[in-house]
Structures are given as C-alpha cells and as structure tokens.
Structure 1
Amino acid sequence: MTEPVTRTLDVPGATLTYDVRGDLAQRPVLLIIGSPMGASGFPTLASYFEDRAVVTYDPRGVERSVRDGELTELSPEDHAADLAALIDHLDVGPVDIFASSGGAVNALALAARRPDLINTLVAHEPPLAGIIPDHQSAQAAIADMYETYQRDGLGPGMAKFIALVMYDGEIPADYTQQPAPDPAMFGLPAEDDGSRTDALLGQNLRGCTSYQPDFDALGKVRDRIVVGVGEESHNALAGRGGKAAAERLGLTPVVFPSNHGGFLGNEYGQPGKPEEFAAKLREVLG
C-alpha cells in the first residue's frame, strides 16, 4: 500500500489534517471518515483499495486536527462544512464516501447540503438516537451519560457510553434508574482527572445522536446513498439508527460483515473482519 502523504487545511475555527494514499487522478477518490474516530482507525480498510486514491482525515478536535478557541460542542452541520471544504480543496470532483458511526451522521448532513460533492455514500451504522422508536428513553440515557461525564469525569461517563452502545434491543424507559456500570469493568479509571475535553463525550455526543437528518433533501439523492448495518450489531443503538434511516429513505439496509467496527484490523486491539468488510464495501460501491 502506498504510504500516506499528510497535509493540512485551514478552515474556520480549526486546522484539519488529512492523509492521501495513491494518486488523486484515480477517480472517483474514496474518502473514508469516522467521528470521533480519526484517520488512525482506517489504515487496514484503506489497504484493501490499492486501486483507488484513498483520503482519510481527523475531524476537528480529534488527534491531529486542532481547534481554535473554546472547545464547545459540535454538530453534524459543523463537520459537514469541514467535509465540504476538504472535498472542494481536493478538487477531484464528486467522491465516494465510506462513513462510519458519527462519521455517517456527518456524511448524511453533507449529502443533504452538498450532494454535488458525492458520487456514492455508504453510511455505516449512524447512531441516530433521535429517530429510533425508543428515542425518548435512548436520548434520556445519552443525557444522563453526558451529565455523568460533566459531573464525575471520563471513566464513569465512558462506562455508561460503552454499556449503552452494547445494549441489545430497545432501551427501556427505566434504563437510567438501573445501577451504573463500574468503570473498572472496562479498564477505565474511576478517578476524575478534571479534564472535560474528550472528543466523544464532551464535544460530539449530544449533537451527533440527537441529529435529525433532512430526509426530504436526502430523498432526492437516495439513489446515491447506501445505509449499512453490521451483521452482529444491527440490534444495538447504532445499527438500529441505520435501519431507521434506511426506512425513512425507502432503502433496504445492506448487511456488512462483523460489528460496528467490522472494518478494523488491529488498530485498537479489537479486530473485526476487514477483508470481508472491504469486499462488501467494494461490491456496494460498484
């Protein structure tokens, strides 16, 4: 695989860092994005597309993409503006996009506002808690998670996050009354270090999960959108968000191998089935 070339792009309020593998003259370019996952989560997946130019990036406030000023919460519209700026800057015409998790939410926001930049969008497991049938209890659990993070710090907040995203099926109305998970169960610290700058819990959690996509605008370009769900995770919150989005668009969700991180190699020590995942992605991209 071609070694990535790292570049930066100044946008209002941040400097984005992105990586290019291959020759951008190879069209269409494949843009691979997550949120808050940065480019470090995608080398394995990118390696299966040696016949393509592949671009990955760190969203603002993540890893190498530095924000200016106060670290306020971000919305999918903020990220969509960054993505539009990046694609315009690449000057390669419309791109194919594989978007994972919060990245899928951001890419749906981009597709609604700038469909001219997209050839095909594969939105894999967008955690759209605001559109699933149990949205009230799901959003209450997310609000509780955010409040826990602000009050008690990263470990307790992240423990609640992991427990929620692993939950199989609809979130019950009394979910927040259940005993809180022990951070030690997930190898997390119980002590509060005083920081509140976490890219997931502090900056992206609420804006991402509460987002209401513009389904009227997306419906006009539905022929360019593929919604993916994991074969092992389609009953978890993100998978159900994907199924709900597909239903609103009149699409049949495409089942991808493995789980929410099925594209991963050993980037974070939790490999999925990247070879099978890449084969499925290549198939749906045509």
Structure 2
Amino acid sequence: MTTISNATLAVPGADLYYEVRGTGPVLLISQSGEGDARRSEGLVRQLEQTYTVITYDRRGLSRSTIHDTTEPVTMATHADDVHRLLTALTDQPARMLGCSMGAAIGLHLAVEHPEQLHTLIAHDPVTPWLLAAAERAHHLRELEHCQQVFRDSGWQAALAPMVKTLGIDPRNQELEPGVELPSITPARAANFAFFIGEDFTAVRTDNLDAAELQRSAVHIIPASGRSTPHEVFDHKCAQELAVLRDTPVVEFPGGHNGNMTHPSAYAARLRDLLTAV
C-alpha cells in the first residue's frame, strides 16, 4: 500500500490540510461539494501508481480550519489556497482534476496562475457566470432556494433541492461492482452544512473574465458525466466552457459524482486524456 504523507499548510486566514501519495507527475484533485481529501479514495488508489496525487480539505471542511469566520469565503479565496498549496509542493506545472466546485477553482487558477497548471480537467463545473443572462439568473435562483431551505430547515432538507439542481439521483446511481458510497458521518454532515451555507454563496457570487479564460495557455478539457442530465446547469456550464475554448466536451463514466461511483473507469479515462495531452 502506498504511504500517505499529510501535513497542514498555513494560508491567509486558515490552515489547509492536505495529503500526498504515489509517484510520477503531480496530479491535484480538487473535490466537489462537501468532499474533503478522502472523498474519492477509490479513484485515488487507481491513480497513485501513475501520479503523485495531492488531495486536500477545502477551507472550512474537515481538518482545514478557518481562523476568522466573519470573513466570507469566495472562489478567489479557494483558488488562492490551491495556488499556495501547489507553490509549497512543486515547482513544475501540475495536472489538475477539478470536480464541480473544484473545476470552478481550477478555472480561476488557469487565469490567475496559469504557470502552475499543465492541464485542467474541468468536470461539470459549477460556474453560472459562463451562462447567458436569463439562464444564469434562473440557476442562481435555484442555488438561492437551496440555501433558503438550509436556513429554514437544515442541511438534510436542503439535500433534495441541491441534488435536483446538480442532477444527482442518490436513489438511482449506477455503481461499479464492489463500490460502496460513504455514509454520512457527523463530520461529513458538518461539511454539507458549510458547503450549502457558505460555499453556495461563493458559487453564486463568482465571476471570471471570460476573455482571459479563453486566452489562458493552460490545456483545459471540459468534461461532463455520461449520465449528468443535460438540463442541469453544471452540464450547461461544461458546454459553454467548450464553446469558449473551442474544444469538445469529454464524457466521463457515471454522472456528476462519477469519480466516486465509477473509480476504475473514471481513472482509466483520466489517464488516457492526460497521456494524450
């Protein structure tokens, strides 16, 4: 079994927990939703023989402690955390898999610190700013509704509108043989609460200069899950990113959470794409 090294990096206003394992070119995985450094263990185990895999807890999740909770956490804040993490761990451009919110973080990095990224795979990016005004407004209202349900009735009640907004059906998810999805522990419940209560605001208020993103020298691969519904905004954002970058959307096994439900097939697709680049 590969040895996992872990440490904490001091960043402005927080301590960022991270893990490193494997050997080869650096591959940073920025997780979606409530996901911390261990969210997609099955996927990481498939990749650690080929890559030096870095995973981390986004600030506010699990072991990444925020010192001043009065300061809002923005997407730019999350991107700066990743910039500092990569600066501390490598002097070479990294590969990056960004899932959902992690993809939005990666797009910021591609604009603000393009020298740090070799390739970004942006899977179902939650980037409403990529959409046309009317569609963007509609999907922003969906996110606001999720937060209102959370404030009124708690994170468990907010899961129903959230999974509908993102196109996840937890009762009808295809799984690879032998895959079991993690249960909701108290720590994961706290992560859900932070994600919906705080990070949804970061998504809603996010913005990036599309012209700068179009010009970025980073090799950006828009991606979406095979079973991600085409009407949900994360799939539409992948399509708009593809138009902006003049490249097709790459299909991955599974849906929005394919990195968890189909770790072997997802890892194979990821390796093929990175090898081709």
Residue 259 of structure 2 corresponds to which residue in structure 1? 263
Pairing 1:67–2:66 present = yes
Residue 17 of structure 1 corresponds to which residue in structure 2? 17
CA distance in 2, matches of 1:87, 1:61: 19
Residue 176 of structure 1 corresponds to which residue in structure 2? none
Q: CA separation of 1:51/1:144 partners in 2, compared to 1, >3 Å: closer, same or farther?
A: closer
CA distance in 2, matches of 1:233, 1:216: 27
* Residues 121-270 of structure 1: pairs in structure 2 closer than 5 A: 121-133=120-132, 134-166=135-167, 198-221=193-216, 224-235=219-230, 236-264=232-260
Q: 1:41 aligns with which of 36, 39, 42?
A: 39
Report the CA distance between 1:94 and its aligned residue.
Answer: 1.0
Question: In structure 2, the residue corresponding to 1:229 is in which secondary structure?
Answer: strand
CA deviation profile, 1:137-168 (whole Å, cap 9, x unmatched)? 21112112222222332233232212322389
Question: In structure 1, the residue corresponding to 2:259 is in which secondary structure?
Answer: coil
When the two structures are superposed, what TM-score results if normalisation uses the length of structure 1?
A: 0.81
CA contact (8 A) 1:71 1:203 kept: no
CA distance in 2, matches of 1:247, 1:79: 25
Q: CA separation of 1:77/1:163 partners in 2, compared to 1, >3 Å: closer, same or farther?
A: same
CA contact (8 A) 1:130 1:139 kept: no
When the two structures are superposed, what TM-score results if normalisation uses the length of structure 2?
A: 0.83
Question: In structure 1, the residue corresponding to 2:119 is in which secondary structure?
Answer: strand
Residue 183 of structure 1 corresponds to which residue in structure 2? none
CA contact (8 A) 1:123 1:226 kept: yes
CA contact (8 A) 2:36 2:57 kept: yes
Report the CA distance between 1:92 and its aligned residue.
Answer: 3.4
Structure 2: unaligned runs, 5 residues or longer: 170-182, 185-189
Report the CA distance between 1:210 and its aligned residue.
Answer: 4.5
Larger radius of gyration: 1
CA contact (8 A) 1:79 1:106 kept: yes
Question: In structure 2, the residue corresponding to 1:67 is in which secondary structure?
Answer: coil
CA distance in 2, matches of 1:34, 1:74: 16
CA distance in 2, matches of 1:67, 1:223: 30
CA contact (8 A) 1:71 1:197 kept: no
Question: In structure 2, the residue corresponding to 1:135 is in which secondary structure?
Answer: helix
The share of aligned pairs that are identical, in percent, is 27
Runs of 4+ that moved beyond 4 A:
none
Report the CA distance between 1:197 and its aligned residue.
Answer: 8.5
CA deviation profile, 1:185-224 (whole Å, cap 9, x unmatched)? xx99xxxxxx999221111012224423322222223561
Pairing 1:279–2:274 present = no
Residue 30 of structure 1 corresponds to which residue in structure 2? 27
The AA in structure 2 aligned to 1:42 is S
Q: CA separation of 1:29/1:208 partners in 2, compared to 1, >3 Å: closer, same or farther?
A: same
CA distance in 2, matches of 1:203, 1:33: 17
CA contact (8 A) 1:197 1:203 kept: no
Report the CA distance between 1:132 and its aligned residue.
Answer: 3.0
Question: In structure 1, the residue corresponding to 2:201 is in which secondary structure?
Answer: helix
CA contact (8 A) 2:166 2:256 kept: no
The alignment's C-alpha RMSD in Å is: 2.4
CA deviation profile, 1:226-265 (whole Å, cap 9, x unmatched)? 111111105132222211222122221111111111111x
Report the CA distance between 1:71 and its aligned residue.
Answer: 5.2
Residue 58 of structure 1 corresponds to which residue in structure 2? 57
